[in-house]
Structure 1
Amino acid sequence: MYRKVDPTPNPPSNFDLPFEGQLADDNRWVIMAKLIPWSEFEAEYALNFSVDMGAPAKSFRMALGALIIKERLGTSDRETIEQIRENPYLQYFIGMTTYSSQAPFDSSMFVHFRQRIGVNLVNKINEKMVKEQTEVPGEVVEKKSSQINEPKNQGKLILDATCAPADIKYPTDLGLLNQAREHTEKIIDALHTQIQSPVKKKPKTYRNTARKEYLKIAKNRKPSRKVRRKGIKKQLQYIKRNLAHIDEMGQLQLLSKSDYKKLLVATEVYRQQLSMYEKKEQSIQDRIVSLTQPHIRPIVRGKAGKSVEFGAKLSASCRNGYVFLDRISWDNFNESVDLKRQVEEFKRFTGFYPESIHVDRIYRTRDNRAWCKERGIRMSGPPLGRPPTNISKSTKKQAQLDERIRNSIEGKFGEAKRRFSLGRVMAKLSNTSQTTIAITFLVMNLSALLRQAFWLFCVYFRTNSFVQVFCLY
């Protein structure tokens, strides 16, 4: 059940403190609370709950605010709760009206918050927040007066894609098979305990022998290809025997949901690894690289030091210094096919097409070039065909300027991975990981707006101080 609460931030002076004093208006959390459009998306969040059944749920501002605090501070779920308990500004940010030393909710609620606030809702909040804070007041009237004529292209659009690595160890075929074998052994133990038949004996799994054979190869620093292949064959045989025992035991309905899911994943890993072993191949479609997170796929990037990354691939756009998440997928994709849709999103957001698009080589296809040319959009990069022998200085200067502009989105990706959690996504589920990635871009834009608000405050403070000093003389 969801009870509607007015999420509009109250003045910080109305926040009750058990000691003397009040919250400062220029605090960063007070300013950020005013930047987020809480009330406009509360109704969409309330659709996750029943109108008259169930316990009252936490408010939308508390759920989203807690996720923003966690991403902004870079803390774990439990540490975030401790920070909220100790800091009255954080309690004000999530919508509390009185300071309390008690935890507002349990740390396990973060998983539910990420599931209820999906990636689409976070993207809507991100776009609405940036639009409200950057829109010029007289801009709407000018657009209405010029509806007859198509507006001229304005602004710059920067596009790029990256990968958000998940928190898994580097997968190997032998290691995955060893984990799958251990999962099947635990399932056999669970079924034998629940069946409790004195007649049937527990099936033999030879787990100690299988473990020793795995460690014999795993501890070897550089095992040969022949040794690895022999070890993979043995692990496949152990898993095949365990799966046969599970079929004979039956009664899979006695398993818990987690054990049943592990059984399905282990069966699929066995099928994929057996197929690659028999065909002597190194790849297969929809390859599983983690038994605990089977949705993760290998993303081939071809970069120095990291030829393959394991996580979600995302396509993003940068508009006027703000980054927006346009597409996210666990499967690899060609980001050049998103260019047209991203340009149309830019037009929907601003009301006109961009004057120029700054992209890398993979976006510069013939189809994309022709589509941009029809709309009067200049695409960065050299033209198709053989390069001319004599290149003018203006052309070189324009190419250097385009590359500098395109580097801004690379800097945004670097900030997201070093300063925030995009460098290693700690969420385990598919939907919660996507929400975490979307929250990262929301917090990045919120930080940019906060820096802009702080700069305006400093300019205002200095101007007023100068006027007061001038009046004294």
Structure 2
Amino acid sequence: MYANHQEQQILPGDFFLPFGGRLSENNRWVQLSYLIPWRRVEMEYSKHFSGDLRGGRALSVRMALGALIIQEREGFSDRHLVQHILENPYLQYFIGLEAYQEEPPFDPSLLTYFRKRLGPDIINQVNEWIVEAGLQEEQDADDQDKDEDEPPTGPGHSDTDGESQDPPTHQGKLILDATCAPADVAFPTDLSLLNKGREKLEDIIDTLHAPHKGEMKKSRDRRRQARRDYLRTAKNRKPGRMAIRRAIGRQLRYVARDLGFIEQLVQHTSLTVLSRRQYRDLLVIGELYRQQLEMYRSRSHRVDDRIVSIAQPDVRPIVRGKAKANVEFGAKVAISVVSGYSLMEKTSWDSFNEGTTLIDSVERYLQRFGYYPEAILADKIYRTRDNLKYCKDHGIRLSGPKLGRPPKQMDPNQKKIERQDMGKRNAVEGKFGEGKRIYGLGLIRTRLRETSETVISIQLLVMNLEKRLRFLFCLILSELIALDFAINSAVA
């Protein structure tokens, strides 16, 4: 059951502290709480619950979303997050409590359900609202500065001489790029994956044989010999190519032998005796064996939907061509940056050509702001013939040189524009660096596909909240400087 928890946000002065004092309005968590449209999020969140009044009352969306924002902002684990919330009254205010309490507001295990229940769609919608409000604040601040700089016009006068201005059809710049959000998995090798799968199959054999212990003879699975064969190659510092191939062949035969034993045991014991994780591992290992056998026979290292982790079968190898890591393992994320704010465009666990997302990104830009961008700043992978034709038809400038052979003498103005575009496009690289170095985008520690996508979306949400917080700080600082200047001028 879910019911609306709070009609409006309480003020920091109304938050009860049993040890005296009051919360400061200038605290970052208090300021961040003002930037999130909790009421709109609550209305969207409540749609995912049934109207049945039976059962316990669900926790508020402010507690769920607020806890996830704190976790990704500070990099806490699930258990450490609950401990820090208990120790900090500002964090308790941020998640919607009305008074300081010494009991945990929720169990750490509920954080997984928070990520599942919210999901990437709700998080991305909240992010859209925050970006919309942030751009409006910046626009209002710019308009106020212009009004102060320009002399007031008299009655009946206007800048357009009585003519109404048409709404802009092209405005702003859209920056596009993609990156990989690496998952927390060990670097996969074919030999280690087969060995791990064999060990899990041996545990499944033990579980299936347990009801018939003493009645039916257990098959010889040669697990000790298989372990020695694996370590013989794994402990070698520089095994040769043929040595690795022979070791993989042995492990493939051990895995095939174990799968055959499981087929025999299933005739006597139902698979329902397996735990949910064991049953899932059995399905994954069956597909892993098929892929590895196909690559072994064809002497290749490529296969469709290649599994690189038994615990996280959704993770795929993403070839990035970077000097530090040529291949990364995780989800590929395409984002857009508008006026310093990051917006999600596409998340996929399979590698994709980010150039195919340009048209959809422009159409979403039109839906968000009501006009097309003046220019799109992106690298050369976006400069396909279809994208160039689309941009030309809609009057949008796509950064970069023309297709074909470069001219012998480039126009100096065109060269200057390309250099400026390259400098402005670095904003998206800065966002990737901010997310991976400061926040958790550089290593996604969640295991499930849906929770990982939620965490990736929260990373963009946190970065946009921090940008709005910096803008708010700059406004306050500029007002203080103007006030100080006015006081000094009056005294002089």
Cα distance, 1:296 vs. partner? 0.5
Q: Distance in 2 between matches of 1:270 and 1:53?
A: 46
CA 1:469–1:21 in structure 2 vs 1: closer, same or farther (change >3 Å)? farther
**Cα distance in 1 for residues equivalent to 2:235 and 2:34:** 56
Question: What does the per-residue CA deviation read over 1:296-321, in whole Å, with 9 as the maximum and x for residues that have no partner?
Answer: 01111122131111000011000000
State the 1:191 CA deviation.
Answer: 1.4
Distance in 2 of aligned mates of 1:398 and 1:412: 23
Cα separation, 2, equivalents of 1:338 and 1:7:
40
Q: Does 1:33 align with 2:49?
A: no
User: 1 CA distance for matches of 2:164 and 2:483?
Assistant: 41
SS at structure 1 position matched to 2:301 = coil
- Aligned equivalents of 1:78, 1:208: Cα separation in 2: 38
Correspondence list, 1:256-335, <5 A: 256-335=275-354
**What's the offset of the Cα at 1:367?**
1.1
Q: In the alignment, what sits opposite 2:154?
A: none
| Percent of residue pairs identical | 47
The alpha carbon displacement at 1:14 in A equals 0.5
Correspondence for 2:168? 151
Pairing of 1:288-437 with structure 2 (within 5 A): 288-437=307-456
The equivalent position to 2:243 in structure 1, one of 217, 227, 239, is: 227
Does the 8 Å contact 1:3/1:56 carry over to 2? yes
CA-to-partner distance for each residue in 1:200-249, whole Å, 9 max, x for gaps? 02222111111111011001111111111111111111111111111111
**SS at 2:346 equivalent:** strand
> Is 2:261 the counterpart of 1:245?
yes
Partner of 2:404: helix, strand, or coil?
coil
**Deviation of the 1:7 alpha carbon:** 5.9
Pick aligned residue for 2:179 from 162, 175, 191: 162
Give SS of 1:170's match.
Answer: coil
Supply the AA of the counterpart residue of 2:280: K
Return the alpha-carbon distance in structure 2 between the equivalents of residues 385 and 196 of structure 1: 72
Q: C-alpha distance in 2, partners of 1:308/1:235? A: 25
Q: State the 4+ residue runs in structure 1 displaced beyond 6 angstroms.
A: none
Q: Hey, what's the Cα distance between the residues in 2 that align with 1:221 and 1:134? A: 55
In 2, are the aligned partners of 1:12 and 1:24 still within 8 Å (CA)? yes
Counterpart pick for 1:183 among 197, 200, 205: 200
Residue 47 of structure 1: how far off its partner (Å): 3.1
CA–CA distance in structure 1, aligned partners of residues 463 and 485 of structure 2? 33
Aligned residues: 467
Residue type matched to 2:39 in 1? S
> Following the alignment from structure 1 to structure 2, what is the Cα–Cα distance between the partners of residues 248 and 96?
57
Q: Answer whether contact 1:7 1:95 (CA < 8 A) is retained.
A: no
Query: Could you say what secondary structure the match of 1:423 adopts?
Result: coil
Aligned equivalent of 1:199, options 201, 215, 219: 215
Q: Which amino acid aligns with 1:311?
A: G
Q: For the residues of structure 2 that align with 1:460 and 1:95, how far apart are their CA atoms?
A: 30
Residue 142 of structure 1 is matched in structure 2 by: none
- Verify the 8 A CA contact 1:359 1:380 in the aligned structure 2: yes
Whether the 8 Å contact between 1:425 and 1:433 is mirrored in structure 2 is yes
Matched, 1:2 2:13: no
Alignment of 1:45-84 (within 5 A): 45-50=45-50, 51-84=52-85
Distance in 1 of aligned mates of 2:228 and 2:23: 62
State TM-score, norm by structure 1. Answer: 0.95
Q: Which amino acid aligns with 1:199?
A: E
CA contact (8 A) 1:346 1:353 kept: yes
Q: Which moved more, 1:146-155 or 1:14-23?
A: 146-155
The structural deviation recorded for 1:94 is 0.4
2:320 partner SS: strand
Unaligned runs of 5+ in 1: 140-145
Aligned residue identity for 2:400: G
What is the CA-CA distance between 1:472 and the residue it aligns to?
Answer: 4.7
Distance in 2, matches of 1:374 and 1:33, equals 43
Q: Tell me how far apart the structure 2 counterparts of residues 9 and 29 of structure 1 sit (CA, whole Å).
A: 13
What per-residue deviation string (whole Å, max 9, x for no partner) do you get for residues 367-389 of structure 1? 11111011111111011222222
CA contact (8 A) 1:288 1:294 kept: yes
1:8 is aligned with what amino acid?
A: Q
Contact 1:7 1:38 in 2 (8 A): no
User: Displacement, 1:101?
Assistant: 1.8
Q: Distance in 2 between matches of 1:312 and 1:7?
A: 38
State the one-letter code of the partner of 1:185. Answer: E
The structural deviation recorded for 1:464 is 2.7
In 1, distance between residues paired with 2:487 and 2:102? 42
**TM-fit CA distance, 1:147:** 11
CA–CA distance in 2 between the matches of 1:7 and 1:164?
A: 37
